[in-house]
Amino acid sequence: MTIPPPPAGGHHKLRLLRVPAGHAWYRVSHRRYGSALHFSKGSHARWNDPHGDYGVLYLADRPETAFAETFGHGLMKRLPPAADKFIMLIELQERHLYRIRSVRDLTIALFHGPGIPALNLDARLLTTLNYQCSQAWARWTCEAPAAPAAPDGLRYSSRALPGEGINTALFDRCRDALTEEDLGALDIWHSDTEDLDIFDILDTQGWGLV
């Protein structure tokens, strides 16, 4: 069975979450860009607008998820099951971890947990490689009426860190509300909120360092 396209209307079935101002998300970005606030356009990403009318910023709920989203995609294509995998030190040195916050409350549509069955969907929407389907649902979400609140983005389970990681895709209508803090290069990063550093993440996710 194929994933159905979004309906005409029906936005009242969206499950919405109010995320308070100051909430932290994370994103890994190459140092050459100088900023992590990149709103993606084009057909290459799951929740991008298929018409290119607006950009989408992809964020992770915590550093571990941001790392998995950066380095963990395509592992099944590149490596045999349970094979050793390695990351080069320079790859960590070239990438910085950023903390992203909003200066205002944001309204986020839930595309995980009860938000999925509320729309009569299932997890295939979150894992399909047919991005035309998921992009159509993202545009439908972005076009939701302003009452009670037009979503600023959508929240979904991480495919690269399933069962643990949660991501958020923000529409560029909230661009001016976002701030970023450069937490430094990954090779020297240590959390300022818990006892966690990059080597803990490498070990937990099964990476060796060369």
The answer to whether residue 1 scores a pLDDT higher than 70 is no
Percent pLDDT > 90 in the chain is: 88
Please report which confidence band the pLDDT of residue 2 belongs to, taking 50, 70 and 90 as the band edges: confident
Domain boundaries, the chain: 11-80+97-184
pLDDT of residue 113: 95
pLDDT of residue 73: 85
Q: 139, 132 in Cβ contact below 8 A?
A: no
Q: From 99, 119, 111, 129, select the one nearest 9 (Cα to Cα).
A: 119
Please report which confidence band the pLDDT of residue 161 belongs to, taking 50, 70 and 90 as the band edges: very high
CATH number at 11-80+97-184: 3.90.175
pLDDT (average), residues 144-173: 92
Q: What is the pTM of this model?
A: 0.95
pLDDT of residue 147: 65
Please report which confidence band the pLDDT of residue 146 belongs to, taking 50, 70 and 90 as the band edges: confident
pLDDT (average), residues 66-85: 92
The residue among 73 and 96 whose pLDDT is bigger is 96
Q: Please return the burial class of 200, using the count of CB atoms within 10 Å of its CB with bins 0-12, 13-18 and 19+.
A: middle
Q: From 208, 210, 209, 181, select the one nearest 63 (Cα to Cα).
A: 181
The answer to whether residue 76 scores a pLDDT higher than 90 is no
pLDDT in tens, 114-124: 999 999 999 99
DSSP 8-class letter at 175: G
**What is the length of the chain?**
210
pLDDT (average), residues 172-180: 97
